[in-house]
Amino acid sequence: MADPLHQFKIEKLVELPDVTLPLIGKVDLAITNSHLAMTVAFAVVVGFMMLVTSRPQVVPGRLQLVGEQLFGMIDNLTDSIIGHEGRTYFPFVFSVFTFILAMNFLGLVNIPGVFAFFTATSQIAVTATFAALTILLVLIIGFAKHGLGFFKLFVPSGVPWVLLPVIILIEFVSFLLRPVTLTLRLFGNMMGGHVALKVFAGFVGVAALGAIGWLGVMVAPLSFAMVTALTALEFLVAFLQAFVFAVLTCIYLNDVVNLGHGH
């Protein structure tokens, strides 16, 4: 339990028979702690939105106010970045934002010695899936709206002909790196913060058990203060990383929705 990386281990909770799919091969259908965390996050998002929208009040209560603030924040985000077509892509951006936010916050639920939610966004496979879905949507919209004109995305206007081949190459490589940066930013921030929390929490435990003698008198309170501060910071990071993912999604969508002109 002292291993700071133990919290990221995928563990099977319910064994299920394997299935063999064409072109893919054998697939393990066992329910894991990662599956459970994502399922609970999905249920929390759906349940929250149902509660918010089931009985809307003219004077909103606390729950409705939170829902309206989240809705308005992402609505303003899509409108300000994408423009008049932002509402079209609002459902996707809002769904990604709320799902990532729920998984990030659930990963901070930890009752020592009793239960701790798995942080699904600390798994690179999960963040890579969100990144792949985002870039796939960008490609579909780009080709659907502009056909082969989509490739104008890699040809900025006003560039001298001499520099054009180099600029095209840079823009193309930059586009290919978008899913990588989306994946690693969310994964790295969530994993790094949780590792730091575990390390300082370990210092508290070691000091409390007297393993470092009289030094524990100084180490324990300092480590506990760091754990408290890092926990508060992790809640902020959990929100910011979901918001940053939504912002970048809007920026990438804007590139193809408003290709070649502003909004």
Mean pLDDT of 55-65: 78
For 165-182, write each residue's pLDDT tens digit.
898 999 999 999 999 999
Q: In 3-state terms, what secondary structure has residue 77?
A: helix
pLDDT band with cut points at 50, 70 and 90 for residue 216: low
For 129-156, write each residue's pLDDT tens digit.
999 999 999 999 999 998 988 888 888 8
Is 80 exceeded by the pLDDT of residue 33? yes
Mean pLDDT of 234-246: 94
DSSP state of 263: -
Domain ranges in the chain? 6-257
Mean pLDDT of 200-206: 72
> What percentage of residues in the chain have a pLDDT greater than 90?
41
pLDDT of residue 179: 93
Q: Which residues pair with 110 in a beta bridge?
A: 116
- Token readout for 122 is 């600390």
pLDDT of residue 203: 72
For 71-127, write each residue's pLDDT tens digit.
999 999 999 999 888 889 999 999 999 999 999 999 888 766 656 788 899 899 999
189 CB-contact burial (10 Å; exposed 0-12 / middle 13-18 / buried 19+): buried
For 220-238, write each residue's pLDDT tens digit.
777 778 878 888 888 999 9
Query: pTM of the full predicted structure?
Result: 0.87
Handedness of CA 51, 94, 236, 6 (dihedral sign): positive
Is 70 exceeded by the pLDDT of residue 2? no
pLDDT of residue 144: 92
